[in-house]
A and B are shown apart, each in its own frame.
Chain A
């Protein structure tokens, strides 16, 4: 038992040292890194990779911790030894966690914009830590496996007393039969008090909430990484606008002459132009200078002169031979082509345009 505890301690200590040295070294190397950072090569944002690596490492740590404690338990039963407190490992674990979090903070210290900077050196530090942790896990797994296969009694115990072992490890309660050993000399109107250990799940749960709280506060209020109320609101409003636009695009039937809006953005105009060139240019000619159909670039109009009017003319057609396009084109395409037509630069008769038809509007 002592050997194993010592080896765990030693390994953790080495890892701690190693991490701190990496963190220290990192400060100098950050500026030197010029090539594409790893997170970019992986197609992730630095924050994302940082989060993934952190969570993964924490998971490994949790596994190591639980395996170490179960190894301890197994060996305790195996050797039927008296209970020994293991403050050393705990302190080391705490130290390790501390160093670990300080490395996280150091990484944050180098944050450039709003995101966490995640230089490659830190990434590799993470990898090294993870590899070490995995090695520890394999090592511990070996001990657990070896011990179990060795002792039949232990197997029996695991079969029959599993529940008891579990509840015991969860509460660390002294069995009722033996509780005289922890009965305090208190007597309050006949009420006595035991002095059971704090249930480990309770204690570690409390620690975790405290860590979470510190992390939360740092994440939102100190490093200002997370979106607070105002930013969240702006994000939600932007998302809403985007979703509405997407819905509109997916449901062209929603666009009617009553609600159609003039599009002015370059991509819509380009879309309108390409539709125009394939479907309209045969009559209205290139650039809208007019051919079989009237000149679309001047200020004279036979029918509607605004986006709603032009939209109607295209979709419903006109008596002079203009086709009704609504069966051949979705409304959003009609909108695009109408918007394109609306912004066409003037081509006068002198420039080769067709003479004006209709009223000046």
Chain B
């Protein structure tokens, strides 16, 4: 058999590795800054540094820049070696790298400017979405090109995970990012309300699954056995946990929407699949940890293994916690609290962070052909980072729990609530400080690593093209005698892709399609009407400023929430919300019932003063002072926005776009007059401010259900909805089963 000579492309690995570490440090620093803003709101110096814009920058930076580049670095290194082939095309590799960095730079520029689609972890606007799609396809072609010209007959488990990552992220991104552009950097989500929420959290949950988990499991399957020099513990465990993981993961999205107006059946599906996800997730942990059987003494000495072990342990903890948080009675406590944030950071700092560090400590000495500059510094990094994680998450677990109890605590007589929302904010401050301290330690650790790796690289010499040789692969589809049944698919990458695609489509389809197709899943309320042009513009400002990062618009059906905020949110109230703005975290109170007719409604003048100087209305508030909202409102696109909304199904009458601006100005004048009448001390207000539009939106939120129902005057509106919901529950189930069949 002829032995072929070829070389591995190490330059692309170096590029991605440098990008990983650079963006990692930047992303973490942005996170630290955001956390400090929660302690000292004065840090919201300008619009582009305000928390609502910085937090999406942090999440996008660590997910897509830090972990994203980490995926590419690890895949480009391991894929070539596992397949005994150079990457399919060096050009595609370079395009993949520079394209991805340009996307990140575009994000770094546009997110602080307030260009956002308003959906968590999918904030980037439509032109960048298209660029992401292109780069993903470039990576996919490059990867599959390499797989097809491989010199190893079977694909190793790491590559299964890479394939699943590729295909699922593509599906998630394409479906969730369907949006209608209005201008170059403004679009509206194609979906509205409950449906948008379901699609978004199907995406959001599986971004965690297929961007932060499956590719990193692939990396674990390469780097752990390599670093430990041990065989992988169990091949059959790999098979079972891989397929069960990707099949089950996709269903679990609705656990982000428990106790919402998402239909019950979808919530229940989300719960049961979350529970079933526990053991498939742990399968990965076990295969990682048990691979270290017999070499645990190495873990004591070897920095790479040390980081990997903590990473895998954190993965096990986070994937245990996830199913627990999906149980309704746990979710009842934890949802909207900082517990969720702690949970995410066990995964982010622990699993992704520590695994990336381990990988970097493995790769740099290999690529630069030398030994690590300092084991002691690597050890120091390990302990600083571990301590950082502990200091980060434990205070937040505790505080998140207490926060929830404070929100839910009734007075002894039960007729009122014990605490103001603001009390829970004040309570959090010391824990926020501990969290920032933990984060600081983690970043210091990362800086130690940067120094250590820098010195290592200086000591060695980089090998751009690593020579290798292997016999050519002949008859790649022919099996060996007595082989395992799964070997069949391991020789057929395209079939593998299709099977993985089928596995991940089932869950999404069963949950999403009925929610869209069966009208009874979203009972409509006839008194809910589209936003006025001014309110629509105000809503766009709400989205632009990232208000959803701290304020939910989703009153859960609990007694305490009804007492604090008002009647719980109904599906029919969100039908014109492109995108939905339910939020996932309450750093501030829920706003769904802030509109007129609700108990928590505040006057226009109150909002005016509060938005410009929150301390003035609620002492101790950590909300930024939105002084830049005094700028004049841009109404040049209002008619286009009305047209776009009509395209999306919002029933504005034909030709209304011509009247919209006049209506907008009229309403702005009314709001303005209300403000100066309510508080004659307000001298600065003008009718053309952005703030006026935002106030108009806030005064509208959740007020439609209090309007007289023109269709059915006999029933009270609230009752009518309840009856409708109750009636349709059985129908829903039947319809779903039909579709499943």
Contacts and interface: CB of A to CB of B under 8 A. Distances in A.
B600 interface: no
B221 to A, nearest CB: 8
B226 A189 contact: yes
B231 A212 contact: no
A236 B558 contact: yes
Contact of B235 (A184, A206, A214): A184
A332 to B, nearest CB: 14
A197 interface: yes
Contacts of A233: 557-558, 568
B635 interface: no
Interface string A180-198: 0001111011111111111
B663 to A, nearest CB: 38
Interface in A282-299: none
Interface string B171-200: 000000000000000000000000000000
B520 to A, nearest CB: 14
B286 A210 contact: no
A214 to B, nearest CB: 8
A196 B238 CA distance: 10
A58 B237 CA distance: 28
A213 B507 CA distance: 15
A206 B247 CA distance: 14
A244 interface: yes
A349 to B, nearest CB: 45
A199 B152 CA distance: 29
A229 B156 contact: no
A213 B275 contact: yes
A22 B84 CA distance: 63
B269 interface: yes
A195 B235 contact: yes
Given A191-B226, A213-B275, A183 B290 contact: no
Given A221-B265, A221-B733, A254-B413, A209 B279 contact: yes
A212 B82 CA distance: 39
Contacts, number: 132
A179 B231 CA distance: 10
Contacts of A18: none
B222 interface: yes
Contact of A221 (B264, B278, B410): B264
A188 B82 contact: yes
Contact of B726 (A195, A230, A254): A230
Contacts of A209: 275-276, 278-279
Given A188-B156, A210-B276, A229-B259, A194 B232 contact: yes
A143 interface: no
Interface residues of B, number: 57
B235 A173 contact: no
A176 B293 CA distance: 8
B95 to A, nearest CB: 26
A208 B265 CA distance: 21
B97 interface: no
Nearest to A222: B733
Interface string B251-270: 00000000100001101110
B228 to A, nearest CB: 10
Contact of A244 (B222, B231, B240, B413): B413
A287 B293 CA distance: 90
Contacts of B286: 199, 202
Contacts of A190: 226
Contact of B82 (A183, A189, A232): A189
Contacts of B606: none
A237 B414 CA distance: 11
Interface in B535-578: 557-559, 562, 568
B114 interface: no
Contacts of B415: 244
Contacts of A237: 559, 562
A183 B278 contact: no
Contacts of A205: 278-279, 282
A197 B239 CA distance: 12
A185 B231 CA distance: 11
A194 B267 contact: no
A247 B412 contact: yes
A216 B78 CA distance: 42
Interface in A212-243: 212-214, 216-217, 220-222, 228-230, 232-233, 236-237, 240, 243
A164 interface: no
Nearest to A233: B557
A47 interface: no
Given A183-B231, A194-B233, A217-B272, A236 B733 contact: no
Contacts of B568: 233
B484 to A, nearest CB: 8
A155 interface: no
A76 interface: no
Contact of A206 (B78, B152, B279, B559): B279
B491 interface: no
Interface of B: 78, 81-82, 84, 152, 154, 156, 222, 225-226, 231-238, 240, 244, 259, 264-265, 267-269, 271-273, 275-276, 278-280, 282-283, 286, 290, 293-294, 410, 412-415, 480, 484, 557-559, 562, 568, 722, 725-726, 729, 733
Given A186-B156, A189-B226, 6 more contacts: A184-B484, A188-B152, A191-B226, A199-B237, A209-B275, A240-B559
Interface of A: 171, 173, 176, 179, 183-186, 188-199, 202, 205-206, 209-210, 212-214, 216-217, 220-222, 228-230, 232-233, 236-237, 240, 243-244, 247-248, 251, 254
